[in-house]
A and B are shown apart, each in its own frame.
Chain A
Amino acid sequence: MIEFKDVGLVYPNGTEGLKNINVTINDGEFVVIVGLSGAGKSTFIRSINRLVTPTTGSLQVDEEDIIGYHSGELRKLRTKVGMIFQNYNLVKRSNVLKNVIAGRLGHTGTFRSVLNLYKKEDVGLAYESLKRVNIEEKVHNRADELSGGQQQRVSIARVLTQQPKYILADEPVASLDPPTSHQVMTYLKKINKEDNITTIVNLHFIDMAMEYADRIIGMRAGEVVFDGPVSEVSEQTFEEIYGRSIRQDDLRGGAEES
């Protein structure tokens, strides 16, 4: 369970990233955060694994306040909280297997990982993760030989190999085309359901949020302006969140393909 209690964050340059956030995310939920760019979606998500540090309030992950965490505790937290990025963040010159097994680093001792002495079950787990996103035939290819959608699937496999309790995805489909975007979201949703991993995704496409989310949190100017199940959301809700009428480029489209 993740609990934001009066969380605020002011960046060193004075920008207010988060204002007075009170949100509870229950285990197993698939939450989509929507909002315009600069609304604080990234800051919200990155607070949870402490890539950024809130300046006020308390942020609890599994009943422990993580705001004061330092190196050792922070690594433990991040082992439990996997993350997927907009630009995949694969090591381009390493092969797919090495990229995926990097998901085990938090669980593996320094000595073992430096000498590449992975346990058999870890290598097996990595390969199994690749199978789950249907990209196992690329296991020995270099990451830079893959297309954007394939790279994002590899990064999902990496996060699966990490066996996290939570997955954070920061704009995972912003660099992909519509069919590939749907494919990636479908995998995220499937993993959420099958492994019961709490998943929090930042999106700015309204139709995708509606299609995949269980619950939508709308943000504007660092504040939560909407929080509710997807059944309560209508186009009007989005207009309130965005503070303007909905335009064509707020939609990703291409939902029938996958």
Chain B
Amino acid sequence: MADYQLPPKPKNSGVKMAKRIVIAVLIVLMYVWTFASIDIDWARAIERAMDNFQRVIPELFSPDWSAAGEVSLAMLETVFIAFAGSLMAAILAVPMSFLAASNMMGGKIFSATGKWILSAVRAFPELILAILFVVAVGPNAFAGVMAIAIGSTGMLGKMFSEIIESIDMEVVRGMEANGANKIQVLFYAVMPQIIPEFLSFAIYRFEVDIRASSILGIVGAGGIGTMIIFASNNRNWNEMGMILLAIIIVVTVIDFTSARIRRKIV
């Protein structure tokens, strides 16, 4: 080895080191504190887990095929809820995104208002929205559709507005310079640039919504979640196994298909 000189130590390395140690100690203390204060009877918990595992796991792996018909109907409803919800969201998100995009409506007030509304909408998890809509429209699939639609509008609106903000504005100005009016510019310069990405995100959101809508039945908003909660209350683990199998198959197939479609679009 040649006689290379080592780089000089960064300045204040002692202070930095001390800072890191303090942070590490604080984090460890936080964990100790939380685990100490939640009162768990570890011995009993482990014993029960072992016991349940031996009983539940094998049953999960031998799904109840006689429930297949009922399960696939419920799964189909779940897919429909996700589809209707994400379609509504994709439509609602378009005007919201144009409002929120800083390069479209001209004016920071519009953009700030739009962004503020979208993040307010995004703050609610689907499950909370589902509870609200079950109260509002009754315990049925429509409540699930509304919950998915509103929940997805927040995310899609934000994504869409970011796509709009990233377009090539030179093309827009060029078209204005050649005598096109605002609406023509929208159709000829803006839309060709945004539509593929809009579609791609809408499909991705549909993928996410399948997973979200399979849980909504737990609060009575339709779909396969209703069956999950019944099966678990009745300790019917064979049926639960069937439900999980259906969810796994559908989610995998849709993920795969949507990935292929999205690759084609962009």
Residues of A within 8 A of B170 (CB): 85, 87, 89
For A49, give the chain B residue with the smallest CB separation: B177
Q: Is there contact, CB below 8 Å, between B173 and A159?
A: no
Chain B, Cβ-Cβ closest to A75: B179
Interface size on B, residues (CB 8 A): 20
Contact between B176 and A89, CB atoms less than 8 A apart: no
Q: Is A158 an interface residue (CB 8 A)?
A: yes
Mark contacts of B166-197 with chain A using CB atoms, 8 A cut-off: 1 yes-contact digit, 0 otherwise.
00101101111111110110011100110010
B89-105: which residues lie under 8 A (CB-CB) from chain A?
none
Q: Which residues of A contact B183 (CB under 8 A)?
A: 110, 114
Q: Which residues 73-109 of A have a CB within 8 angstroms of B?
A: 75-76, 78-80, 82-83, 85, 87, 89-94, 98, 102-103, 105-108
Complex CA distance for A130 and B187, rounded to whole angstroms: 22
* Contact A75/B181 with A89-B171, A90-B171 known, Cβ cut-off 8 Å: yes
Please give the distance in Å from B227's CB to the nearest CB on chain A: 44
| Inter-chain contacts of B171 with A (CB < 8 A) | 89-91
Partner of A110, one of B174, B181, B193: B181
Complex contact A91–B180 (CB within 8 A) = no
Assembled-state Cα–Cα distance A30/B126 (Å): 64
Interface size class of A (residues with CB under 8 A): 20 to 34
Kindly provide the distance from the CB of B158 to the nearest chain A CB, expressed in whole angstroms: 23
Cβ-defined contact, B177 with A78, below 8 A: yes
Task: Please determine whether B178 and A102 come into contact, CB atoms closer than 8 angstroms.
Answer: yes
Chain B neighbourhood of A80, CB < 8 A = 179
A78:B176 contact, CB within 8 angstroms = yes
Nearest to B266 among chain A residues (CB) is A93
Nearest 10 A-B pairs (CB), nearest first? A106-B179, A89-B174, A79-B179, A105-B180, A78-B179, A94-B192, A105-B184, A83-B177, A93-B192, A91-B192
- 9 pairs, A vs B, C-beta closer than 8 Å: A83-B178, A89-B171, A91-B171, A94-B188, A102-B178, A103-B178, A105-B175, A105-B178, A113-B187
